[in-house]
Amino acid sequence: MIIDLSRILNGKESIIPLEFELPFKDEKILKNYNIVQASNLNIAGEVTYMDGGLFVKCTYTTNLQLKCDRCLKPFEYTLEGDIFKGIKPETQSDMESEEDDVYYYEGQDLDISPIVMDDILFNIPLQMVCDSDCQGLCPTCGVDLNEKDCECNKEKIDPRFEVLKSFFDKEEV
Ligand SMILES: [Zn+2]
Ligand SMILES: [Zn+2]
């Protein structure tokens, strides 16, 4: 999404309001986080001139359909965030050492998508669970432990007894 900064760069305005939808398309995030579907990002805020610099100030929200990391059940999650980043002309990017929190615009065009996607990557929880108490699936039988208990742990026989058992079975013959 390209924002035209000309009105602010030629001094006609000191604020450019932002309000738009941005498609959520970042294959890496979508895959790494088991995101089944993501709604468009709703972005609202402004580009503003203050203290001699330009800043992007906005909030974003999107509804995600995810698969729980523990039980694999689908659930919905609203991801929200605030962005406040300095922006500078591309021509300054060579002269100064790259600053961490600064993004660059080319000519009068600011591409806002990387600013938003970077923030999402930073903001998205590492583990996505349907509920912090989710019991997940039994690693042995795959039963959903939120719904019922399984016998896996209780039934486990010490392998040493298993040997003894077969020994006695033979003796009986
Ligand atoms: Zn779960
Ligand atoms: Zn089990």
Instruction: Quick: pLDDT tens for 39-51.
Output: 999 999 999 999 8
pLDDT of residue 160: 62
Q: In angstroms, what is the span from residue 37 Cα to ligand 1's centroid? A: 17
Q: Is 145 found in the same domain as 124?
A: no
Q: If we measure between CA atoms, which residue out of 169, 138, 168, 135 comes closest to residue 156?
A: 138
Q: Is 83 found in the same domain as 37?
A: yes
Sign of CA dihedral 84, 88, 93, 97: negative
Per-residue DSSP letter, 20: E
60 CB-side CA count, 13 A: 28
Residue 73 has pLDDT above 90, yes or no: yes
pLDDT of residue 172: 53
**Per-residue confidence at 26, pLDDT binned at 50, 70, 90?**
confident
Q: Which residues surround ligand 2, an ion (CB under 5 A)?
A: 138, 140-141, 143, 150, 152
- What's the total number of domains in the chain? 2
Q: In angstroms, what is the span from residue 69 Cα to ligand 2's centroid? A: 18
pLDDT of residue 126: 86
**Per-residue confidence at 115, pLDDT binned at 50, 70, 90?**
very high
Structure-token match 């486990």, residue found: 156
**Which ligand minimizes its atom distance to the CA of 68?**
1
Residue 66: strand pairing partners: 35, 75
**Which ligand minimizes its atom distance to the CA of 135?**
1
Rounded to an integer, what distance in angstroms lies between the CA atom of residue 37 and that of residue 30?
A: 8
Q: Is 86 found in the same domain as 57?
A: yes
Rounded to an integer, what distance in angstroms lies between the CA atom of residue 14 and that of residue 10?
A: 10
Per-residue DSSP letter, 129: -
**Which ligand minimizes its atom distance to the CA of 74?**
1
Q: Is 151 found in the same domain as 107?
A: no
Rounded to an integer, what distance in angstroms lies between the CA atom of residue 42 and that of residue 22?
A: 7
Residue 142 has pLDDT above 70, yes or no: yes
CA distances for 19 relative to 40, 59, 81, 114, angstroms? 13, 10, 15, 17
Q: Which residue has the higher pLDDT, 153 or 75?
A: 75
> Domain limits at 159?
135-173
Q: In angstroms, what is the span from residue 74 Cα to ligand 1's centroid? A: 8
Structure-token match 């806002």, residue found: 112
Q: In angstroms, what is the span from residue 130 Cα to ligand 2's centroid? A: 20
Q: Is 154 found in the same domain as 83?
A: no
Residue 61 has pLDDT above 60, yes or no: yes
Residue 86 has pLDDT above 60, yes or no: yes
Per-residue DSSP letter, 92: G
Q: Is 96 found in the same domain as 45?
A: yes
Q: In angstroms, what is the span from residue 35 Cα to ligand 1's centroid? A: 14
